[in-house]
Amino acid sequence: MEKQHFCIKTHNQEKKLALLTMVHSKNFTSSDFVSLKQDCGYIWKGKLEPWHIEGSFEENNKLIFFGPALDLEPLDLEYTADVKELKELSAFFNELKDMKHCRFTPKHFAKIRGGGFFLFPPKLMDEIIKLSPFGGYHELIRYCHPDLKGAVGLSYSLALLDFRRLFGFHPWIQQEEEPLDQEIRTRVIPDLKNVLNSSRETEMIYQGLQGNPPDLQRWMELEPQETQEIPESFLRSWDKSLLSFSRQRYFMKNKIKLILLTAATLMLIFFVSKRVQKILEPPFTIGLTQLEVVEQFYSALEQLDSETTGEMTIHRRNSDVLKDMDLVYTFEAMRTTRVGGEDAMSPEEWLDQGAPFITRNQSVLGYTELEITPLQTNQFEVSYLSWFPPSSEEDTAGVPVIIQRVDRVELAQKKDAWFISSVETLEKKPMESP
């Protein structure tokens, strides 16, 4: 669980809004300390009101700044603004447009319960995030541009928030091991102009995501449209742009041009031949019942078989179980190459051996207690225990991680065969290891 950076504390018998730095005071120089205490936050409830830091104190050797109490609700990394909040943020940002250091992140802003938004003192939050363990660069640029600040940076954030509201997903790939700078700066996204009813709004979003956001006043004048169904043709073109960028990022990591050119040529030949073969071949799931499709899908997931799961699904974009499979696959590849790890054991093998201590070069992977229950037409509920190694390297030794999961699987028919159209995670909670 992510550590929250503010709370209500009692100081001198008064309730105060406390900003938790998680940093010892010795990490602040005396000049910085004085300057940061003078930094000002802002309250927005239809009009701009300043919020001043009143003082600081130490608790458990960690520095805490405090000011007048506010009832705040944190913004998480999956924050999506509705129409009302988008309008409020547009007005709020317009008042902040002359603040060169202001940018929209879940650590700089919070919602006020009952309505409104709060901007924490921006210079202070920048310093806290730089020094403390709870914030990182990857988190900062999830909703702000790495190069744009002030008014243009805030307009970019509005474009990104409006995209997420209308299209239902974040425009940039989320990979913790790599910053998003390169993708934000260089990825070419499909034109949004004619995708939805309001060409003006989607054009503003497109300009913003391409690094040329419109003036904040245009967001003030905009009447945001309600969400609507996204055309399948656009989703296909979006997936294509994402795949194109993923390949580009892979090639950029390699500097030997001749090897890159050869690899690209071979990949193109292979892709074309596979596409022709794919067109001629019947669908992978032809002849299978719905239940058999679900059974084979989860068998492929357990084996980390991305090729088979890809042939059995229509969309991979919003599937939590497929994302987890990709992460476990990456972790296993790192373990076997860096540590020289052994082949993964199944949960049954590990339990038959008496649940021994798992060393750094060992792993336990698989599913147990898998149950598939039919629901309404074309839907199934799947419950199971998922076993996999911890994702943090310092925690790789000991016992496997066990997650109890319940998924709702929906199927759709295409070319006389059944495919997995969506997998929604209904329950996901950790279990104690034997």
Q: Does domain 6-221 have CATH number 1.10.510?
A: yes
CA-to-CA distance for 26 and 126, rounded, in angstroms? 17
334, containing H or E segment: helix 320-334
Is the pLDDT confidence value at 396 over 50? no
Sequence-separated (6 or more) residues with CB below 8 Å from residue 404: 383, 384, 385, 386, 427, 428, 429, 430, 431
Q: 405 with 428: CB under 8 angstroms?
A: yes
Lowest average pLDDT, out of 336-340, 347-351, 386-390, 392-396, goes to 392-396
The answer to whether 389 touches 333, Cβ cutoff 8 Å, is no
The structure tokens listed for 3 are 């550590």
Lowest mean pLDDT among 194-198, 321-325, 411-415: 194-198
User: Which sequence spans correspond to the domains of the chain?
Assistant: 6-221, 232-279, 287-431
Residue 136, pLDDT score:
56
For 18, 46, 200, the CA distances from 49, given in Å and listed in that order, are: 18, 9, 32
Is pLDDT at 429 greater than 60 in this prediction? yes
Residue 49 has pLDDT above 90, yes or no: yes
- The pLDDT, as a whole number, for residue 191 is 80
Looking at the chain, the whole-number percentage of residues with pLDDT higher than 70 is 82
Summary mean pLDDT of the chain: 81
| Measured CA distances, 333 to 31, 118, 338, 342, 375 (Å) | 48, 44, 8, 11, 37
pLDDT at 51: 95
Q: Would you state the pLDDT for residue 98?
A: 87
Is the pLDDT confidence value at 381 over 90? yes
What pLDDT score was predicted for residue 1? 38
Name the least confident of 22-31, 132-141, 353-362: 132-141
**How high is the pLDDT of residue 303?**
83
Which phi and psi angles does 139 have, rounded to 5°?
-65, -40
**Same fold? 6-221, 287-431:** no
**Residue 248: what pLDDT?**
61
Can you give the pLDDT at residue 257? Answer: 59
- Give the model's pLDDT for residue 90: 93
Alpha helical stretches, state H, 256-289: 257-280
pLDDT for 327-348, tens place per residue?
Answer: 777 777 766 665 556 677 888 8
The structure's pTM equals 0.55
Radius of gyration of the chain (CA): 25
Whether 279 has a pLDDT exceeding 80, the answer reads no
Averaged pLDDT, 319-327: 76
The three-state secondary structure class of 324 is helix
Q: What is the mean pLDDT of residues 190-194?
A: 77
H or E stretch including 63? strand 62-68
Reading the block at residue 254, the tokens are: 């390699």
Is 194 strand, coil or helix?
Answer: coil
Residue 264 pLDDT exceeds 90: no
CATH number of 287-431: 3.10.450
Backbone angles phi, psi at 428, to 5 degrees: -155, 100
What gap in Å lies between CA 91 and CA 154, rounded to an integer? 11
Q: Where are the beta strands (DSSP E) in 153-220?
A: none
Q: Per-residue pLDDT tens for 110-121?
A: 999 999 999 999
CA nearest to 402, candidates 354, 347, 362: 347
- Tell me: the pLDDT tens digits for 156-188? 999 999 998 888 888 887 555 556 777 788 777
What does the block give as tokens for 76? Answer: 């998480």
**Interior/surface letters 8-27, b for 16+ CB within 10 angstroms, e for the rest:** ebeeeeeebbbbbbbbeeee
> How far is Cα 30 from Cα 42, in angstroms, rounded to an integer?
25
